[in-house]
Amino acid sequence: MIQVQDLEPAPAPRPPGNAVPPTQADRDALEHTWRDPQGFVGWFSAINHKTISKRFLLTTFGFFVAGGLIAVAMRLQLMRPANGLIGPDLYNQLFSMHGTTMMFLFAVPVMQAISIYLIPLMVGARSVAFPRMNAYAYWVFLFGGLMLYAAFLLNIGPDAGWFSYVPLAGPEYAPGKRVDFWAQLVTFTELSALLEAIVIITTVFKLRAPGMALNRIPLFVWAMLVTAFMVLFAMPSVMLASTGLIMDRLVGTHFYNPAQNGDALLWQHLFWFFGHPEVYLIFIPGLGFLSAIIPTFARRPIFGYTAMVLSLIATAFLSFGLWVHHMFATNLPEVGKSFFTAASMLIAVPSAVQIFCWIATLWTGRLNLKLPMLFVLAFFFILVLGGLTGVILASVPLDLQVHDTYFVVAHLHYVLLGGAVFPLAGAVYYWYPKFTGRLMNERLGRWNFWLFFIGFNLAFFPMHLLGLKGMTRRVYTYPAEMGWGMLNFTATMGALLIGASVMLFAINLWRSRTRGQPAGPDPWGGGTLEWATASPPSAVNFEAIPVVYGRDPVWETADHPPSRPEAVAGLATTAREQLVTSVLDAQPDHRQQFPQPTPWPFISAGATSALFIGSIFTPWAVVWGAVPVAIALTIWFWPRHDETAVNVALEKSA
């Protein structure tokens, strides 16, 4: 019998294991083993989850600023009646780019980006699962976003709205390449998001520190886990829809062409089957931030942990049953619409459960009103307003009155900015010291907060009234006789205030890197595991992986019985070895060798981008473009002799 051993390299010397507590030699060796390579090629080879996350965050912030500047341009055009600043064609591109940027290039990816930094720290892991795929997902995302903006600068930016309804976006009414770039952007970003979802799910299920049973993981991790599962089932829908759209446009299929038995509403169904869960893909991470920030500043464990987890899961399930409430103005059966009204009302229940749990936590805690908490309180105010208009829009007759008006624009900004961007800003203030080792400036932060809060309400509250007065979405101008001038002027002033607040935020982010007050490992007195690492964490995160006995391990270390193990010993210090634990109870199961840095994820992402962009111009790009992708992925996968020799040594020592 031929054995695997016949093709094994001779084992290298066995790498030494770490001690508990780790010695200085252990620390130095681990730092050397896990850090990203230096130099030009090294920069493209980086796979450490913290490096990738920081690049990802910077990229999404860049797109946020770009999308925000586009919004300011639109507001300047609408500032007064019959304004001639921006013409209708450019305006169409601007609102399409704004929506597409904020939804596909900012809101979902920024949540995944921050969580690939935090989740390994929170669950006590040295890396995310599949670190190379994580890097690949980042590069694909970056190239997709750059493609969209390159197209926009060349005057071929999308112009059919962020949801590209057919027939407007179909071959007949949208000739040229504009919508094709939109459709491929969706392919890029959804591929990236789907891969990140797999990374997050596997990390949370398999790489938790021993003892961190599923009912002990931090609520933020639960929120991102639930989000990742939603991504798996929601994003394929928009990928399929946009593939059908681009095929209708490029190879003459008829998915959405009623003249050949196609159906324009099929687009709306597929789009909103993704699009409504998408809202919750943005909102649920926001809930996760709140559940991380509130216990720290209330200085007590969260009230109702189990109810919170069940609410997250219930929200995720219900969010898949709401998509038709975006289609109340279509000819669907009225009975069916009533069902979706009921489901839309029902989803308020799990959201309310969480809000009551937070209030109970704050009520019974000892409040510490630091900057992150201000953003949390703003969330309560803004989200409640957005939720109330949501209940109005969920009702068919009311929705028909304000459909496609600025009332909807007001509602969605209240929900998305209140539900996600305010908590996100709070989260940045909260975790910035973990990322950089320094606190952000409190005074600048308060200016940032108040300008943002006042500017936000000034910009978006008048839009409710504009909608009720009949101003429709996506108009590039309006005559003075409509009487919308004053409210629009107010909204534009609000938008400028938001712009100023974002500028202060950016200045604060930049300056505090070097001038901020040193933070130490746990500046806020938090209870979850990321606060047990250095700020910023070492390349390996945990020199010795901790053993966990409760939901807030940092708070619980003070009063434990002295006779239980505190950390894991014996993991290699000169090889990338990670402990893998069981899904439910996080019992130690086996040791896994993690891959070395390599530029091949970067090269594979480049090849993938060539395929996607090429296919905008010729369908044959799918065929010839697949060859470099296959080659790059194969080299990426192919095991190296020297690494295998080390792995064999570790295997033999078991």
The answer to the question of residue 266 lying near another protein (CB under 8 A) is yes
The answer to the question of residue 553 lying near another protein (CB under 8 A) is yes
When the beta carbons of 277 and 467 are compared against another protein, the nearer one is 277
Q: Quote the CA–CA distance of 358 and 232 in Å, as a whole number.
A: 29
Calculate the CA dihedral of residues 316, 318, 321, 326 and round it to 10 degrees. Answer: -80
When the beta carbons of 400 and 583 are compared against another protein, the nearer one is 583
- In 159-304, which residue ranges form alpha helices assigned H by DSSP? 178-206, 219-250, 264-298
The answer to the question of residue 21 lying near another protein (CB under 8 A) is yes
The answer to the question of residue 7 lying near another protein (CB under 8 A) is yes
Task: State whether residue 76 is helix, strand or coil.
Answer: helix
Phi, psi for residue 405 in degrees, rounded to 5: -110, 180
| Consecutive H or E run containing 58 | helix 49-78
Name the minimum Å distance from CB 547 to another protein: 6
Stretch binding another protein (CB under 8 A), from 105-113, 242-250, 323-331, 605-613: 242-250
- Which residues in 193-222 contact another protein (CB under 8 A)? 194, 197-198, 201-202, 205-206, 210
Among 91, 255, 406, 476, indicate the residue that binds another protein (CB under 8 A).
Answer: 255
Name the minimum Å distance from CB 127 to another protein: 11
Name the minimum Å distance from CB 606 to another protein: 19
Residue 518 forms beta bridges with which residues? 438
Could you tell me the two tokens for 357? 């749990």
- Which residues in 286-345 contact another protein (CB under 8 A)? none
Number of other CB atoms surrounding residue 269 within 10 Å: 17
Name the minimum Å distance from CB 466 to another protein: 36
The answer to the question of residue 523 lying near another protein (CB under 8 A) is no
Among 17, 81, 470, 485, indicate the residue that binds another protein (CB under 8 A).
Answer: 17
Among 395, 538, 574, 596, indicate the residue that binds another protein (CB under 8 A).
Answer: 538
When the beta carbons of 1 and 335 are compared against another protein, the nearer one is 1
For 34, left (φ over 0), alpha (ψ -120 to 50), or beta? alpha
The answer to the question of residue 6 lying near another protein (CB under 8 A) is yes
Q: Quote the CA–CA distance of 602 and 433 in Å, as a whole number.
A: 29
Name the minimum Å distance from CB 504 to another protein: 29
When the beta carbons of 79 and 193 are compared against another protein, the nearer one is 193
Number of other CB atoms surrounding residue 313 within 10 Å: 14
> What residues contact residue 434 under an 8 Å CB cut-off, 6+ apart?
118, 121, 519, 530, 531, 533, 535, 536, 537
Q: Tell me, residue by residue from 622 to 641, as one string, x for binding to another protein by CB under 8 A and - for no binding.
A: --------x---x--xxxxx
Helix axes 485-515, 422-436, angle to 10 degrees: 10
Among 69, 76, 90, 247, indicate the residue that binds another protein (CB under 8 A).
Answer: 247
When the beta carbons of 413 and 438 are compared against another protein, the nearer one is 438
Stretch binding another protein (CB under 8 A), from 150-158, 177-185, 492-500, 554-562: 554-562
Name the minimum Å distance from CB 562 to another protein: 8
Name the minimum Å distance from CB 4 to another protein: 5
Could you tell me the two tokens for 60? 């999404």
The answer to the question of residue 521 lying near another protein (CB under 8 A) is yes
Task: Tell me the DSSP string of 383-445.
Answer: HHHHHHHHHHHTSHHHHHHHTTBHHHHHHHHHHHIIIIIHHHHHHHHHHHHHHHSBPPPHHHH
Q: Quote the CA–CA distance of 512 and 602 in Å, as a whole number.
A: 31
Q: How many residues sit in the footprint of another protein (CB under 8 A)?
A: 102
Q: Quote the CA–CA distance of 258 and 413 in Å, as a whole number.
A: 34
3-state secondary structure 276-298: HHHHHHHHHHHHHHHHHHHHHHH
When the beta carbons of 39 and 561 are compared against another protein, the nearer one is 561
- Which residues in 111-170 contact another protein (CB under 8 A)? 129-130, 133
The answer to the question of residue 647 lying near another protein (CB under 8 A) is yes
- Which residues in 176-195 contact another protein (CB under 8 A)? 194
Name the minimum Å distance from CB 499 to another protein: 38
- Which residues in 583-622 contact another protein (CB under 8 A)? 583, 588-593
